[in-house]
Amino acid sequence: MNPPLALADFGSFYAGGRQVRIAGQLTRDIAFTQSASLAYDPNGLYHFEQAYVQYFVPAELAHPLPIVLLHGGGMTGAMWEQTPDGRPGWLQHFLRQGHAVYVVDNVERGRAGWAPFKEVWPEAPIIRNAEESWSLFRFGRAEDYTARRAFDGQRFPIAAFDEFIRHAVPRWLGNNNAALEGFCAALDRIGPCLVLAHSHGGEVAYRALHARPGLVRGVIGVEPSGFSPEVDAASVASKPFLFVYGDYLDATPLWERLCATGQAYAGELASHGARVATWRLADMGVAGNSHMPMMDDNSDDIAARIGAWIRGAAA
């Protein structure tokens, strides 16, 4: 059992967003408890598209740069707190390694809140279902979902799959620019840092790298699925970048394409002077990892490996 964590500070804040005035909505009677009702007027001033950030500072800092944890698509910062089967998440692991850790709920996710008005976000949200999660995150073949028969050697805690899918929240596909702005506003508050981004969070992180080159000192992309459309040499030269991929990458044509795109982007970073490392864990003798290595049964080992890379490459 790990010893208790000693913190020097912890707290939270909201960053960014915009004020929106809603007009033309109908007033209606509502009951918000069994004993309280009123006439509800939705017209008025609101604040939307902010990011929510919770931070933790260990009593003994071992690294000058904090780590900012950015979730993937359809998820929130809760994905870093604890694994579905109850083990410590990467939030705790990086705190124990001596980093200040900032956990982001970006625009529209979790405690950042969302906008129910089509005048703000015209499109309808989507949410990921269990069947899609099973195959997209490479837990097993799509046809084996009903039987919950995972890939051979799978490290994701399949018995906790139903707990995992509680993480899914609505997302609005047209909000990438708003997500970038919200994340940059959070970075403005945080200051110089390393960003550890998962999946769709990669696009936000790599775009933020160019929007805030003085603040983003390096990026760890854990199976990133989105990238900046262009690379600015002044933003990346001499900075460290790590790309981490799990196993079963040939399971679907989608993941073959995503890996190829990621490696092309890594090559572009390197060609502009960045210090780039790519880990295919299965090729390193670490087999069985899914799209969610922060939740797999060797999550502590992967966090330790990333921490060692930071100490060596991002010192």
pLDDT of residue 315: 56
Q: What is the pLDDT of residue 121?
A: 97
pLDDT value at position 36? Answer: 84
Query: What is the per-residue DSSP string for 104-118?
Result: EE-TTSGGG-----T
pTM, rounded to two decimals:
0.97
Residue 30: per-residue pLDDT = 86
What pLDDT was estimated at residue 169? 97
Nearest in space to 287 (alpha carbons), one of 226, 246, 243, 244:
246
Structural domains in the chain, CATH included, are 7-13+48-313 (3.40.50.1820), 18-47 (no CATH)
- Tens digit of pLDDT per residue, the chain (315 long)? 788 899 999 999 999 999 999 999 999 988 888 888 889 999 999 999 999 999 999 999 999 999 999 999 999 999 999 999 999 999 999 999 999 999 999 999 999 999 999 999 999 999 999 999 999 999 999 999 999 999 999 999 999 999 999 999 999 999 999 999 999 999 999 999 999 999 999 999 999 999 999 999 999 999 999 999 989 999 999 999 999 999 999 998 999 999 999 999 999 999 999 999 999 999 999 999 999 999 999 999 999 999 999 999 865
- Give the Cβ contact number of residue 49 at 10 Å: 25
Q: Which amino acid is at 239?
A: K
Dihedral (C-alpha) 95, 98, 100, 101: value to the nearest 10 degrees?
-30
Task: Label residue 69 exposed, middle or buried (CB < 10 Å: 0-12, 13-18, 19+).
Answer: buried
Residues 38, 215: Cα–Cα separation, whole Å:
47
Q: What pLDDT is stored for residue 165 in this prediction?
A: 97
- CA distances (Å), origin 162, targets 84, 124, 166, 220: 9, 25, 7, 28
